[in-house]
Amino acid sequence: MPLINTSGVNTDRGYGLFASPASPSCTDGTKGIFALGQSCSTAYNTRNKYTYASCTSTACGVGSASIASAYGSAAGNSTRGIFALGRNSGCSSTTTRNKYTYSSCTSTTCGVGVASTASSQGSAAGNSTRGIFALGCAGGVSATRNKYTYASCTSTASGVGSASTTGRLGSAAGNSTRGIFALGSGPPALATRNKYTYSSCTSTACGVASASVASYFQSATGNSTVGIFALGCGGTALTTRNKYTYSSCTSTACGVGRASIGSIAGSAAGNSTRGIFALGQNNCGVSLTTRNKYTYSSCTSTACGVGGASFASCKGSAASWATCVNT
């Protein structure tokens, strides 16, 4: 799922933020940052800080986006999350990205490499050194990806493996070596996934397990061994999730905890043990505050005891981090 997510339609798709020692050789993330996107037709700049240990969420003291926006995507490393803002409140796609610093809960557009072209409805994943952003819709549906280098805060579309076909409203998740991108909608809805290898900046759809259902408006996150993809819309809002195993490039919907309700246009982030899915919008087009906690070890999911969003929203994005997942 990006670092672990992305993200979702923005992917989304997740990493555990504010890493804290879990063992002498491994740290794990403690928080995820969710950009809420929009509710009804109103875009917001609100972000929530979700604490994994307590399953609580707050919008207090959390750096807002530089502009109200929706249809964004996000990826990051152990110190920062990079948010591609997507579409502003005037429904125009932007090149704007924000750098969110976890330690200070602050956000800035200063010195942050912008997208190579104005875009929205993309997805993102990455490892400890770079984030890969699928631009989604850039004038038309795009196959373009950007490589964002965290150390220099620079971004380029040069030398970066494109998607195997144009797509938007997809999702992404991955580990330290690869990102798995669900392409979403061409249109039509696609079951296609691409495997993006960070070290070579190459991408392929060959040998990569497809989604169980053609779908779009998705979200995703995962840990070092699996990515969990919420499929979104496959003709109707779905509860279906797929478990994608990186080592074998296989995927299944069997035995994978479903969403608590059918939903689309969500976002997701997580750490090495759990993924937090913001469900987005239900089958009736109503924005939700609901989040689900997905436990990787048991492939189970619950909406009980999980801090909801600070207000109902959809079409957001999320980022977090987990060492031993993305490094």
Q: What is the pTM (predicted TM-score) of this model?
A: 0.93
**95 occurs within a structural domain:** yes
**57 occurs within a structural domain:** yes
Indicate which CATH number applies to the domain containing 63. 2.120.10.80
Which tokens hold the place of 89?
């409140």
**196 occurs within a structural domain:** yes
Per-residue pLDDT of the chain (327 residues; tens, 9 = 90+): 333 344 444 344 333 333 333 333 446 788 999 999 999 899 999 999 999 999 999 999 999 999 999 999 999 998 999 999 999 999 999 999 999 999 999 999 999 999 999 999 999 999 999 999 999 999 999 999 999 999 999 999 999 999 999 999 999 999 999 999 999 999 999 999 999 999 999 999 999 999 999 999 999 999 999 999 999 999 999 999 999 999 999 999 999 999 999 999 999 999 999 999 999 999 999 999 999 999 999 999 999 999 999 999 999 999 987 655 556
**324 occurs within a structural domain:** no
What's the number of domains the chain is made of?
A: 1
**39 occurs within a structural domain:** yes
Q: With helix as H, strand as E and coil as C, how does the chain read?
A: CCCCCEEHHHHECCCCECCEEEECCEEECCEEEEECCEECCEEECCEEEEECCCCEEECCCCCCCCCCEECCEEEECCCEEEEECCEECCCCEECCEEEEECCCCEEECCCCCCCCCCEECCEEEECCCEEEEECCEECEEECCEEEEECCCCEEECCCCCCCCCCEECCEEEECCCEEEEECCECCCEECCEEEEECCCCEEECCCCCCCCCCEECCEEEECCCEEEEECCECCCEECCEEEEECCCCEEECCCCCCCCCCEECCEEEECCCEEEEECCEECCCCEECCEEEEECCCCEEECCCCCCCCCCEECCEEECCCCCCCC
Residue 78: per-residue pLDDT: 87
Q: How far apart are CA 155 and CA 222, in angstroms?
A: 25
Residue 93: per-residue pLDDT: 98
Residue 325: per-residue pLDDT: 58
**89 occurs within a structural domain:** yes
Residue 28: per-residue pLDDT: 78
**101 occurs within a structural domain:** yes
Domain assignment of residue 73, given as a range:
8-319
**327 occurs within a structural domain:** no
Q: How far apart are CA 169 and CA 202, in angstroms?
A: 21
